[in-house]
């Protein structure tokens, strides 16, 4: 089912209708060639998706009637990916796949070994494009939330930004053994926030790792192989997604077994 996002003010709760405007109108009319009566998903980009039926297609607006609220597809914890800026277009791939895996927010970070240098004008354009990629990935993967890609932060500011996050981990090639990684993942519970700090090509300087540890990040190993920057964050997100959704499934099973769930 096709998925679109609107601003909250485009949702008329009293009339149970949603007004879709902007580029999506052309996409619905001329690309998808949809007709009144067809069903679509429309989200407010933050916390709710609606199953809707198209009522009217005009040149500048598509009006859809709300049929019901859709079940949330969001992870029960908020995951922040602090990503050291990589070269070329790797950041676009990272954002796309991170959104598919359930990330809550992506924070691009300038580190000591970051090669990419963006002036203010280039950064503004790049962040705008990154957010468009996040929105497209959210549509494709059926997300209720459109994850934000923040402006680029320097390393110190990123650590300060992560101050209130509950569980913080930094994959580091010199970390030994998987026990710490297992414990860090198992510590994540529904309702928590999680920060994952990934270095650019070449990894972190030792001083940066020490600074992250002082800020509450736990160094973890991702196994015996050294992963590229575009792989490391996605590996952690995949494990966290499985952990959180498997736990939710087990909780549902336990509740049902004790008579608290649906028969």
> Smallest Cα–Cα separation from 188: which of 248, 146, 141, 260?
248
Which stretches in the chain have pLDDT values below 50? 252-256, 261-263
Q: Closest Cα partner for 4 from 56, 45, 57?
A: 45
Cα separation, 59 vs 62, whole angstroms: 8
0.85 surpassed by pTM: no
DSSP state of 9: G
What pLDDT sits at residue 255? Answer: 47
Phi, psi of 168 (to 5 degrees): -125, 130
As given in the structure block, the two tokens for residue 232 are 């490391």
**pLDDT given for residue 173 in this prediction:** 80
Domains of the chain: 3-69 (2.40.240.20), 78-249 (3.40.1280.10)
* pLDDT tens digits, 219-258: 999 988 889 999 999 999 999 999 999 866 555 444 445 5
* Spatial CA neighbour of 208 closest among 178, 163, 171, 164: 171
CB contact at 8 A, 206 and 261: no
């Amino acid at each position: 089912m096709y998925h679109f996002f609107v601003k909250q003010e485009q949702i008329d709760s009293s009339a149970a209708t949603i007004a879709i405007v902007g580029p999506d109108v052309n996409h619905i009319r001329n690309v998808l060639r949809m007709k009144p009566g067809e069903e679509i998903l429309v989200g407010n980009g933050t916390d709710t998706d609606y199953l809707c039926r198209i009522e009217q297609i005009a040149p500048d607006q598509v009006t859809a009637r709300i049929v019901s609220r859709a079940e949330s597809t969001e992870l029960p914890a908020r995951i922040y990916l602090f990503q050291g800026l990589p070269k070329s277009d790797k950041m676009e791939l990272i954002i796309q796949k991170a959104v598919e895996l359930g990330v809550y927010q992506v924070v691009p970070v300038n580190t000591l070994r970051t090669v990419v240098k963006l002036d203010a004008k280039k950064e503004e354009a790049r962040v705008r494009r990154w957010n468009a990629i996040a929105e497209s990935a959210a549509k494709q993967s059926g997300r209720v939330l459109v994850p934000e890609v923040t402006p680029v932060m320097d390393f110190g500011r990123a650590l300060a930004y992560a101050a209130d996050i509950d569980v913080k981990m930094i994959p580091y090639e010199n970390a030994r053994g998987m026990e710490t990684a297992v414990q860090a993942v198992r510590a994540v519970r529904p309702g928590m926030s999680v920060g994952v700090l990934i270095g650019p090509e070449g990894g972190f300087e030792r001083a940066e790792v020490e600074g992250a540890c002082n800020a509450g990040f736990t160094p973890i190993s991702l196994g015996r192989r050294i992963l590229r920057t575009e792989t490391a964050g996605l590996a952690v997100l995949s494990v966290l997604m499985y952990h959180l959704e498997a736990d939710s499934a087990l909780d549902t099973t336990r509740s049902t077994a004790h008579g608290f769930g649906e028969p």
